[in-house]
Amino acid sequence: DLTQIPRPTGHTKQVTDYLKAFGEKHGLETHQDEVGNVLIRKPATPGYEGRQTVVLQAHVDMVPQKNAGVAHDFLRDPIDAYIDGEWVTARDTTLGADNGIGAAYMMAVLADNTLRHGPIEALFTIDEEVGMVGAHGLQPGFSKGQILINLDSEDEGQLFVGCAGAVDVKVSLEYKDQEPTPEGDIAVRIALTGLKGGHSGTDIILGRANANKQLARFLKEAIASYGARLVSFDGGSLRNAIPREAFAVVTIPEAEADGLWEFASDFADQLRVEYRGVEESISLALERTELPATVVPEEIQDALINAVVACVNGPQSMLTEFPGIVESSTNMARVLLEAGHFSATFLVRSSSDSRKMEVAGAIESAFNLAGAEVDYSAGYGGWAPNASSPILGTLRKAYEEVTGKTPEVTIIHAGLECGILQGVMPEADMISFGPDIRAPHSPDERVSIASVERCWHILTRALEQV
């Protein structure tokens, strides 16, 4: 049971050891590469030996997100999964259906000797959620399949034939000089919480609030109208999760306290109006805290807050050939300011390499004006669609036979490993599909029980027909 094995990104040894033991227990050829990816081969059913080898692929790591105040230790504790009506979810943490459900499908195929299929390779990759480490480390020849079915999609009614590429943008600024806290000031801790967050690719089109952006917006007005001085800022967590929470400490003249509290109440009401129907649980809480000896220099404070407020965030362009699909976006994932150091992390996604770098350049320009340094990760390209893909035809037919419906063929505004695997396996015919998963990368993550069952029948029927 994968929910019982701690497997946050960067800590996948327990689960890969489990998978190796699983393969060996079932008498299957099992390999692990130097990076940590696991490959298990299952021979063809008698009579199906002449079929092409199908690679089933999923990643084994999960995003470790939990609600504030929850004592869950992702390195030691199992996920507390439970059934909630028609869904499986977890108590106060991410569930890990992204992409544990894909790995579970693969294990079920490997273990079930009643299925009919050609040669199978089950490729379990590691650390997808932090730059697709496993896929990047895969060497040509480790997998020998001609067809690849990626099981890391989250909408049952869709078959994915392409995906966005991405690049990380990292901002940093060091400053030595602090200023003494103004006399007569009090310290206030500000907490913006209760936002939905979610996956910074698939959920970016939903118009959810970014906690970092909205707290910076509040702070800009608090500085201008109430004499606030910034002490610290700590918002967001993971690069591929829309920030749900952000926190700051400021000082203000004691005489301005009532005004700031009243403004905070008005600002929270304003956010509830602006995000009506999108965010139902917005909370902006202020409380007095211990007065610090120093504050951020005023010039740096203003420059950084202005840069965060001005910087692009969210969808930036849409695809014309796939209506309703985001082409380019950015997520202001992490903002941290404390003890003479400022850093910010953005994940920029795009189906166009040139548009991707255009958005990254806009972020760089905003923070260069604030005196900060900006670096890019190597990034990765997108997965180019193939409209004449044979596996697309097979999976579409299987979908129609199981559900009686026609699936939507589209691309996903997220980084599937297919984009990288295409470079390692250039001749492979690829597709991605999966069951309905909602709110991945957040403690609200859940997977549809009925959808999991339907997708299992679609997958096994397709394997029989390939």
Q: List the beta bridge partners of residue 431.
A: 149
Q: Which three-class secondary structure state does DSSP give residue 394?
A: helix
Burial class (CB in 10 A: 0-12, 13-18, 19+), 387: exposed
Beta strand segments in 36-184, E: 38-42, 54-59, 81-84, 87-90, 120-125, 147-150, 158-163, 165-174, 179-180
> Catalytic residue among 61, 168, 203, 436, which?
61
Nearest residue to 219 via CA among 288, 346, 308: 308
Known catalytic residue at 61: yes
279/275 Cα distance (integer angstroms): 5
3-state DSSP call for residue 108? helix
Q: Sign of the CA dihedral 16, 22, 24, 27?
A: negative
Radius of gyration of the chain (CA): 24
* Rounded distance between C-alpha atoms, residue 163 and residue 414, angstroms: 6
Element spanning 430, H or E: strand 429-432
Residue 173 three-state SS: strand
Query: Phi then psi for 18, rounded to 5 degrees?
Result: -60, -45
Catalytic residue among 121, 128, 256, 417: 128
Distance (Å, rounded) from C-alpha 246 to C-alpha 322? 34
Which residues have a catalytic role annotated? Answer: 61, 128
